[in-house]
Amino acid sequence: MRVGSNEGRVQRLEIQEEQAGQRLDNFLRRRLKGVPKSHIYRILRTGQVRVQGRRAKPDYRLQAGDVIRVPPTRQAASGEPPPASSRLMGLLEEGILVEDEHVIVLNKPPGLAVHGGSGVSLGLIEALRQARPHQPTLELVQRLDRETSGCLVLAKSRLAIQELHRLLNQGLMDKRYLALVAGRWRGGERRVAAALSRAGKGGSDQRVEVSETGKSAETWLTPVKRFAEATLVEARLTTGRTHQIRVHAAHLGHPVIGDRKYGDFAYNRALGAPRLCLHASRLGFSLGGRRYDAEAPVPEDLKETLGRLA
């Protein structure tokens, strides 16, 4: 890796009006192209990045006029992601469920990371920006795990992303998932209100666990179809914590099938689930006086898994 132009000197970056509203970590990842994501989070965690002279968390929302101090970094000679294939471009365009001047809601295919990093050179957001070079402010509003399919919303402007994040933070975005969980569900709808905290070193080692000292999290789980040894449930989120559905389902004793981190490994192997059986089926919200409602059809691989259980 050749040393980029930022090695050996501190950068001080002033945030302009059109850059306001971004998360600090996302801003740094776009600005420090070629710098490993793990290193960016390390300099954030250790306080080497300062905003207005103070430490700032990765999820800090930038404001116009903020001055960010960035320590010397080593960058690859080229931080540009590789060109997206025509097949991927076509897949993303075909997957668009709703689009206007403010947002895009698309059906994310399983197996595609939402952004590059941690060994992934090209993610959904990088590919979509290549497809839409006239929309430089295109940003992810939410994230889905790489193996999770379904509804994903992106914003086309800073105003849209600020408002959509407000809706997310206040629980005003209706998010519904379908999850195939291990075991036969007893009874009807259940509410899980178990606080969650992060554990592990981050990256692929990152885990989330139920903890009294964690952040509040609430999931409603409703059985949709029962099988002999599994149940298809609808999960409705009122908070949006990392791995929330997966951890809450496992906490109830019904881990999501195909989950290699929190799941029942013997059951996953016996069923031969090709991936995490989690699908973001529906998404609804109001923005600028308009109501947005999107529904993503169940993908073929999940249909095949359900068919084997019937």
Least trusted range by pLDDT, from 18-27, 62-71, 248-257: 18-27
Q: Residue 4: its pLDDT value, please?
A: 39
The catalytic position among 25, 66, 100, 145 is 145
DSSP per-residue codes, 66-108: -EEEE------S--PPPPPPHHHHHHHHHTEEEE-SSEEEEEE
For residue range 55-105, list pLDDT tens digits in order. Answer: 999 999 998 889 999 998 765 444 567 788 889 989 999 999 999 999 999
Q: Residue 37: its pLDDT value, please?
A: 81
Would the pLDDT of 22 be above 60? Answer: yes
For residue 206, give both structure tokens: 């990152």
Q: Residue range 114-138: average pLDDT?
A: 80
Would the pLDDT of 238 be above 80? Answer: yes
Q: Residue 158: its pLDDT value, please?
A: 83
The hierarchical CATH code for the domain 170-309 is: 3.30.2350.10
The domain locations on the chain are 11-70, 86-161, 170-309
Nearest 10 degrees: Cα torsion 98, 238, 191, 187: -10
- The residue written with tokens 């075909």 in the block is 94
For residue range 128-149, list pLDDT tens digits in order. Answer: 988 888 876 888 998 899 999 9
**266 pLDDT tier (thresholds 50, 70, 90):** confident
Q: Residue 132: its pLDDT value, please?
A: 85
CB 109 within 8 A of CB 95: yes
Does domain 11-70 fall under CATH 1.10.730.10? My reply is no
CATH homologous superfamily of 86-161 equals Pseudouridine synthase (3.30.2350.10)
The answer to whether the 86-161 and 170-309 domains have the same CATH topology is: yes
Q: Residue 77: its pLDDT value, please?
A: 44
Q: Residue range 184-191: average pLDDT?
A: 94
Measured CA to CA, the distance from residue 49 to residue 52 in angstroms comes to 10
Active site residue 174: no
Measured CA to CA, the distance from residue 139 to residue 126 in angstroms comes to 10
49-52 long-range contacts, CB within 8 A, separation 24+: 49/24, 51/24
- The residue written with tokens 């069923």 in the block is 271
Measured CA to CA, the distance from residue 181 to residue 249 in angstroms comes to 8
Measured CA to CA, the distance from residue 155 to residue 145 in angstroms comes to 19
Q: Residue range 113-117: average pLDDT?
A: 80
Q: Residue range 153-162: average pLDDT?
A: 90
- The residue written with tokens 């600005």 in the block is 31
